[in-house]
Amino acid sequence: MKRTLRHLADGREIIYFDQPGAPERVAEDTRDLPPVAAASEIRLDPLTREWVAMAAHRQTRTYKPPADLCPLCPTRPGKPSEVPEADYDVVVFENRFPSFSQNVSGEPSSVDGLGLVPTAPGRGRCEVVCFTSNHDGAFSRLSPEQVRLVVDAWADRTTALGETPGVEQVFPFENRGEEIGVTLSHPHGQIYGYPFVTPKTERMLDVARAYAQEHGRPVMGDVLAAEQKSGARVIASGEHWTAFVPPAARWPVHIQIVAHRQVPDIPSLTAEERDDFSRVYLDVLRRCEALYGRPLPYIAGWHQAPVHRDRDLGWLHLELFSVLRSKDKLKYLAGSESGMAVWINDATPEQIAERLRAAG
């Protein structure tokens, strides 16, 4: 992998990840950009003890631009973008409209100074990851070598964000499709460096800790072994990874891709594990694309251990899910799901798995 660090006109970092032999990345960002003005704040809900981020400056972020003005495409004559080069393999840059930033001011306090609701600056980091320079491409249409380059970029950025002041958890993810809420159609993902451990991860760590104390084994290891033995929900597998529908799946399309070895994060993966993930993940994505005969809107995100604690409890895996329950019907998170976090699925995990296997 060839890695090149440059800077955009407003000072943000941009990092090119290229295959060996790629041209030097020397293009300058000629835009006249104002400094990034982030005003992120986090507040602790006194009833759930969960942090909530306030980022009102994001209201003005780019929203569904025409393809010829896409800010994630390479720069063209007369049409400068976030990527100054005329082409690229994989590129990562600091988000211009970040939910969390190193450039926020303020000190820990509380709402109205009463002490009931703690507040703090939303100090972290948010990055954009462009998977390909092809505006009309998709992750599922990348080659295994291109996917491996993305994995290496995720690993690089996980390490870098983990060393960033204030960051407690690193979350690489992809939002795909307008039904998910995507406002830029170019194939891309994001990486969040949170200033706290997220509620979902906290819950999973609590479960993993209790299970290990009771059984002396990691819960994900036992789940993986059970799924491999049953096979009823397995979608795809390789030497180092198994993809299966969770036995208590919440979504109409819901898949976990689990490493066979307990590792806390992407940087801990060997070269062989990264190569095998690239093949298994492409298998999964192409089944998803074939499922309804149309592009599948989805969210795919990495579950990594926190940066500074409980790393022995983490078990790296990627989770993919979709709101599409048939070719032209969405699953809406209505009263029970949104109001009470009690999920009701319209299909069994075994049915979901069978459909995905048949779509191969």
Q: Which of 17, 22, 124, 29 is nearest to 75 (CA)?
A: 29
- The burial class, CB within 10 Å (0-12 / 13-18 / 19+), for 99 is buried
- 70 contacts: CB under 8 Å, gap ≥ 6: 81, 135, 184, 185, 186
186 is in an annotated binding site: yes
Query: Active-site residue 188, yes or no?
Result: yes
Q: What φ, ψ does residue 25 adopt, rounded to 5°?
A: -100, 100
User: Which one of 7, 57, 188, 317 is the catalytic residue?
Assistant: 188
Half-sphere exposure of 358 (CA within 13 A, CB side): 9
**254 annotated as ligand-binding:** no
Does 73 belong to an annotated binding site? Answer: yes
Among all residues, which ones are annotated catalytic?
188
List, as residue ranges, the binding site for Zn(2+): 70, 73, 135, 186
List, as residue ranges, the binding site: 70, 73, 135, 186
